[in-house]
């Protein structure tokens, strides 16, 4: 009998197939006491297991490439964290076995992350995966992970660690569903990069029996258990129509009446560029430079290393626009040389531009490297600051750019509600705005972007968030300047139309979403997009806003 469940759709497409569940997680090791003579041996076992898991994660990242590589290398760093390993050594010294010392040390660190709010709690799944891999190696049991299967299937898990998501085989894994997570979790981001339909934050999905036929719609978040023949035909027809539209779609982003909406790519470094170019990106709307800095949390990369990395990205888009976000450190991306170690709530502390203004030498080196990387290239370089709160922040950043001799446009990210409320004031100091909708929603609704329990408040269709976007776009229009969106909201084709109707001037997203957005925008006029935006803002909930916009665009 067909039943319908709803989670949060995070990666476009439809998948129909049999359920396979994620491998069982490692069981808690027994609390056996060891003697003092055994401690040194157990500490050695722990270190060897940690090093092996770190090497495995790094190798997986190199194999996956692109954004997945950055995520997995960050996991490898978790495994070898000096403070964590010191805690393991202490526990073994007072009588724990290697596996129990690892288990308890990670549990303590897990509790700290879970209570830290912001992005930090979202790294709990990453931490659990690292722990499970180390303990499995010590116990000599199979690693938890994606099930073996010769036939295609839909994967269901409590949550998916990046190490598993990054190496999913799209020819076997038709799609996946998780009970936890959120639209901006690592797994969601990697699913979009892979082009695998996915739903997250769907409680109860784990109770669906192995082998059950389900249909997953990664665009709507709907999961159909034992779908009827009619429902399967409907979903397959919609998927075929979408595929045909993608094949026919090419060229710059624009509405059907010719209103241009540049479609740009979010990238983390040179490895992401080929996919962006293949997808037809008109440039880069968000170059996340922090991945270069995360290679070594103890010190900033040299100016030479930065120049080399930046130039590779800039060279890929001759005559194109490349928007670089300067280092966004803090919260879930702590750097020993930059961010405070004792903040009670890093999400609301010294992160983003605040960190850079406290360390002007780091900002100066990055801006100088960007200036040198762009020399002689026919590229339109734009540089923006993360976590701008007010005009004072914007002025400080613009002054730093000018002092570094940067020949580029200077901009500000709108991620804090105060920046949207005072956008015209900020625009007196900078030349463009870029909306980071993930953080803007998080701060507007006091809803951690990684916590599934509050995922409805992270829905970019929330009318209050649309109001903040409209306010920013209106301010930019009044000042004769641009206002783009580089958050995950831009990757939703229907919402992309609404954003266009709100006055947003460019959209940046993961490369895999560009063809979907291009094809959808091309179906509607600017006036239709504006009416859809007005209808969405007139609603009181995200679900109502989505339905209202769809009704307008469908002519209902």
Element of type H or E holding 209: none
Taking the C-alpha atoms of residue 29 and residue 39, their distance in angstroms, rounded to an integer, is: 17
Active site residue 186: yes
Residue with tokens 């258990």: 225
Nearest of 364, 272, 369 to residue 65 by alpha carbon: 272
Element of type H or E holding 77: helix 66-79
Active site residue 497: no
The catalytically annotated residue of 401, 483, 486, 497 is 486
Return the structure tokens found at 379. 């590229």
End-to-end CA distance of the chain: 31
Return the structure tokens found at 188. 């969601």
The catalytically annotated residue of 12, 70, 186, 359 is 186
Compute how many other C-beta atoms are within 10 angstroms of the C-beta atom of residue 390: 16
Question: Contact at 8 Å (CB) between 339 and 402?
Answer: no
Compute how many other C-beta atoms are within 10 angstroms of the C-beta atom of residue 52: 15
All residues at 6 or more sequence positions from 488 whose CB lies less than 8 Å from its CB, including other chains: 183, 184, 188, 189, 437, 438, 460, 509, 510
CA 450 distance to own-chain centroid: 10
Nearest of 547, 541, 449 to residue 498 by alpha carbon: 547
Taking the C-alpha atoms of residue 86 and residue 84, their distance in angstroms, rounded to an integer, is: 5
Burial degree of 151 (CB within 10 A; 0-12, 13-18, 19+): exposed
Return the structure tokens found at 176. 């996946």
Question: Contact at 8 Å (CB) between 504 and 485?
Answer: yes
Concatenate the DSSP letters of all residues of 109-159 into one string: HHHHHHTS-TTGGGGHHHHHHHHHHHHHHHHT-PPP-SPP-SS-EEEEES-
How many angstroms separate the Cα of 407 from the Cα of each of 430, 443, 466? 13, 32, 33
Taking the C-alpha atoms of residue 549 and residue 463, their distance in angstroms, rounded to an integer, is: 12
Question: Contact at 8 Å (CB) between 102 and 46?
Answer: yes
Taking the C-alpha atoms of residue 107 and residue 127, their distance in angstroms, rounded to an integer, is: 9
- Active site residue ranges: 186, 486
């Amino acid at each position: 009998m067909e039943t319908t469940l709803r989670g949060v759709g995070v990666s476009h497409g439809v998948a129909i197939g049999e359920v396979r569940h994620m491998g069982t997680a490692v069981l808690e090791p027994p609390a056996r006491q060891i003697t003092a003579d055994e401690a040194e041996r157990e500490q050695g076992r722990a270190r060897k297991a940690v090093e092996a898991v770190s090497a495995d994660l790094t190798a997986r990242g190199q194999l996956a490439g692109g954004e997945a590589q950055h995520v997995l290398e960050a996991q490898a760093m978790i495994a070898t964290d000096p403070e964590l390993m010191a805690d393991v050594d202490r526990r073994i010294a007072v009588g724990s076995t290697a596996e129990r010392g690892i288990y308890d040390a990670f549990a303590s660190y897990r509790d700290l992350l879970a209570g830290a709010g912001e992005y930090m709690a979202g790294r709990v799944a990453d931490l659990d995966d690292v722990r499970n891999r180390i303990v499995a190696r010590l116990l000599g049991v199979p690693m938890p992970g994606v099930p073996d299967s010769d036939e295609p299937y839909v994967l269901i898990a409590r949550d998916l660690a990046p190490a598993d998501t990054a190496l999913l085989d799209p020819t076997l894994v038709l799609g996946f569903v998780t009970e936890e997570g959120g639209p901006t979790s690592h797994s969601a981001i990697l699913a979009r990069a892979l082009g695998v339909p996915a739903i997250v934050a769907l409680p109860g999905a784990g109770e669906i029996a192995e082998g059950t036929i389900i249909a997953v719609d990664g665009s709507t978040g709907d999961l159909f258990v034992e779908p009827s023949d009619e429902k399967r035909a409907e979903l397959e027809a919609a998927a075929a129509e979408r595929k045909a539209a993608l094949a026919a779609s090419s060229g710059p982003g624009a509405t059907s009446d010719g209103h241009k909406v540049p479609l740009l790519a979010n990238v983390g470094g040179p490895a992401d560029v080929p996919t962006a170019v293949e997808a037809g990106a008109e440039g880069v709307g968000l170059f996340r430079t922090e991945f270069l800095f995360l290679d070594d949390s103890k010190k900033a990369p040299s100016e030479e290393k930065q120049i080399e990395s930046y130039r590779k990205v800039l060279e890929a888009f001759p005559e194109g626009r490349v928007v670089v976000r300067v280092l966004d450190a803090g919260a879930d991306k702590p750097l020993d040389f930059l961010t405070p170690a004792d903040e009670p709530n890093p999400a609301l502390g010294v992160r983003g531009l605040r960190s850079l203004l406290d360390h002007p030498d780091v900002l100066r080196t990055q801006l100088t490297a960007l200036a040198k990387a762009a020399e002689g290239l026919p590229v339109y370089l734009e540089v923006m600051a993360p976590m701008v709160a007010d005009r004072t922040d914007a002025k400080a950043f613009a002054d730093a750019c000018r002092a570094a001799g940067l020949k580029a446009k200077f901009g500000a990210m709108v991620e804090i509600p105060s920046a949207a409320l005072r956008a015209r004031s900020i625009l007196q100091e900078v030349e463009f705005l870029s909306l980071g909708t993930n953080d803007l929603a998080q701060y507007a609704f006091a809803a951690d972007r990684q916590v599934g329990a509050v995922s409805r408040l992270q829905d970019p269709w929330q009318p209050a968030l649309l109001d903040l976007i409209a306010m920013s776009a209106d301010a930019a229009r009044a000042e004769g300047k641009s206002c783009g969106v580089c958050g995950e909201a831009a990757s939703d084709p229907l919402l992309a139309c609404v954003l266009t109707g709100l006055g947003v001037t460019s959209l940046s997203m993961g490369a895999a979403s560009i063809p979907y957005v291009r094809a959808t925008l091309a179906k509607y006029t600017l006036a239709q997009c504006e009416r859809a935006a007005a209808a969405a803002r007139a609603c009181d909930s995200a679900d109502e806003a989505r339905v209202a916009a769809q009704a307008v665009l469908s002519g209902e």
